[in-house]
Amino acid sequence: MKEQDTFSSWANEASKGITKIDELARLNLIRNQSTIENGMAIQKNFDIRVPAEFLNIIDQNGPLQKQFIPDAKELEFDPNELLDPISDEDHTPVKFVTHRYKDRVLLKVSYQCGVYCRYCFRRYKVSDGKENPSEKEMEAAISYISSHPEINEVILTGGDPLSVSDKKLAFIIESLNRIPHLSFLRVHTRMPTAIPSRISNEFLQILSTSKLPIWFVLHINHASELTPRACESIKLLSNAGYPLLCQSVLLKGVNDDVETLKQLSLSLVRNKITPYYLHYPDLAQGTNHFRIPLEKSIELVNELHGKISGFAIPQLIVDLPGGNGKINMTKTMYRKMSNDQWSFISPLSGKEVIVNYPTSSSDHSLT
């Protein structure tokens, strides 16, 4: 199949998604009168795209509905919420590159997505086609990466980097492979679940030309997103040998209970995806209705211990405002009581367990 034919295939699937409030109302996916009446204001604040893959499985007030169907609550801005909640712009030395950590950068390939998540922390740019990089701007971004030898990892993101054509992706991957100080690439995407046809044999052929290892980080928040077609799409990546991780967001009414998180992790592992991060929602404007108390979030993740295998438990992450980095919020389940005595909280019973780990006296010093 030619590149243009491949693009037409998944682009056609993308075109079948719903992008207007009145269309969603006609499908009975919006019943809230306030949301319908404020439709234009909501869309002006952040575009709508609900992929065809999800339309038949969205239930009223269900986990997919809350993630992808707009709500009038998005127009309510808390004073603590920010336009750019993790200060991407303050760490952007050249357009489309965010250089927050010394050894890695974000390369924003496109601000388009196959689906627009209503809690998106980059909503101030995502969905705006005018914000997408031109060919010269992408060349300048790659030139910046090439001129900074401290960078060893490039994270392709956006928007969704797989929303561009295979031809553009091939150019980017080929260009990055020419940079000698890079060690590997990472691709953050929702496409395997939102538009499964995006993962084609032609796309895999382009990936196979990369000498740099490529890791995929998939964005999945609920087990219901793993439709049969999505699982086949993910299987193509897995069978081709690409490591798969998952970043989820902890969202009120979507996955904020232990059983739902457990089923999500088990579903991911069954598809050879390792749960990686569980993000506490960033302080993006109009997203306060998605947040639960942070202390409850910590308790939820700690309750997973003893219920599923350790490698299936994601790290609970807070991405600090101001671009101050990520914090692992998993509650400390131990404390040192004396030189040899430690107190632990059992993940099975929740009770304190005190253990003596004797060491020779010489081991107490670091001489």
> Does the annotation mark 335 as catalytic?
no
Residue in 95, 101, 229, 235 annotated catalytic: 101
Residue in 108, 111, 117, 123 annotated catalytic: 117
> Does the annotation mark 118 as catalytic?
no
> Does the annotation mark 246 as catalytic?
no
Residue in 113, 124, 125, 166 annotated catalytic: 113
User: Which is nearest to 317 in space by CA: 268, 248, 244?
Assistant: 248
Residue in 47, 84, 160, 319 annotated catalytic: 319
- What order do you get walking across the sheet with 184-189 strand by strand? 97-98, 104-110, 153-158, 184-189, 214-219, 244-249, 274-279, 315-319, 326-328
Q: How far apart are CA 327 and CA 307, in angstroms?
A: 24
> Does the annotation mark 282 as catalytic?
yes
Residue in 47, 71, 84, 100 annotated catalytic: 100
Alpha carbons within 13 angstroms on the beta-carbon side of residue 190 total: 26
> Does the annotation mark 190 as catalytic?
no
User: Which is nearest to 222 in space by CA: 249, 182, 191?
Assistant: 249
Q: How far apart are CA 56 and CA 53, in angstroms?
A: 7
> Does the annotation mark 117 as catalytic?
yes
N-term to C-term CA, the chain: 67
Residue in 66, 108, 118, 122 annotated catalytic: 122
Record the tokens describing residue 208, joined without a space. Answer: 């196979």
> Does the annotation mark 319 as catalytic?
yes
Residue in 95, 168, 252, 326 annotated catalytic: 326
Contact predicate 220/193, CB 8 Å: yes
Q: How far apart are CA 198 and CA 151, in angstroms?
A: 29
Residue in 104, 186, 190, 198 annotated catalytic: 104
Contact predicate 279/248, CB 8 Å: yes
Q: How far apart are CA 149 and CA 170, in angstroms?
A: 23
Residue in 47, 120, 125, 166 annotated catalytic: 120
> Does the annotation mark 186 as catalytic?
no
Opening angle at CA 101, ends 100 and 106, nearest 5: 60
Q: Catalytic residues, which ones? A: 100-101, 104, 113, 117, 120, 122, 282, 319, 326
